[in-house]
Amino acid sequence: NAGVTQTPKFQVLKTGQSMTLQCAQDMNHEYMSWYRQDPGMGLRLIHYSVGAGITDQGEVPNGYNVSRSTTEDFPLRLLSAAPSQTSVYFCASSDRGFGYTFGSGTRLTVV
């Protein structure tokens, strides 16, 4: 049972490039979320989903897109990377909100 798998673990992008952070879970969880973690700011919610085909914006959605075509996968797309998006990104999944299981994170640097 792999839990929540995030890829890649590390990524360096140039300003203006786009990329997709992958997230997959094998626990058949309905709820999935993306957070970014920056020093002193805790985890801030980017987008969340309560099931396939259902997504909504969180606290800091600008510059990011998501889709949820299957229960298992919840990719996060950076449309045009900016230095302000340098952060550690965590994907998490939950069975109806009963506490999240987190992935190991993706450390993204935008230069």
93 binds other proteins (CB under 8 A): no
| 71 to 21, 30, 75, 111: CA distances (angstroms) | 16, 7, 11, 33
2 binds other proteins (CB under 8 A): no
**Residue list 32-71, contact with other proteins (CB under 8 A):** 33, 35, 40-45, 48-51, 54-59
Q: DSSP code of 80?
A: S
For residue 40, give both structure tokens: 């002193």
Q: Which is nearer to other proteins, 17 or 67 (CB)?
A: 67
102 binds other proteins (CB under 8 A): yes
